[in-house]
Amino acid sequence: DQQVKQNSPSLSVQEGRISILNCDYTNSMFDYFLWYKKYPAEGPTFLISISSIKDKNEDGRFTVFLNKSAKHLSLHIVPSQPGDSAVYFCAASDYGGSQGNLIFGKGTKLSVKP
């Protein structure tokens, strides 16, 4: 059973507009959430994270929102740039329980068109 779900396999956005990538989770023990970006033939690159005690974290063009009651998080990229085109993975972990392994969603392929 998938504990972390990214229901949109792909997303296409115009350059300069906002990209919103969504992620849902089922395990209420998760207390740390991360977003990674991955280009083909490379390992995932860490983008931004959020702990369960917060509902928003911002880093430059990237903002992650966490809605614990809905077990939902989203990544906003504003403004989107063609270089943002990649596969984005949402990941979750239960660090409070020392389960430090990451549980990944299956990814959303973002295409930003010039």
Partner 1 sequence: KAGVTQTPRYLIKTRGQQVTLSCSPISGHRSVSWYQQTPGQGLQFLFEYFSETQRNKGNFPGRFSGRQFSNSRSEMNVSTLELGDSALYLCASSVRDSTYNEQFFGPGTRLTVL
End-to-end CA distance of the chain: 38
Q: Name which position in 13, 25, 30, 44 contacts partner 1 (CB under 8 A).
A: 44
60 binds partner 1 (CB under 8 A): no
104 binds partner 1 (CB under 8 A): yes
Integer Cα distance of 51 and 30 in angstroms: 9
Q: Name which position in 13, 21, 34, 112 contacts partner 1 (CB under 8 A).
A: 34
Report the interface residues with partner 1, using CB under 8 A.
31-32, 34, 36, 41-46, 49, 51, 89, 91, 95, 98-107
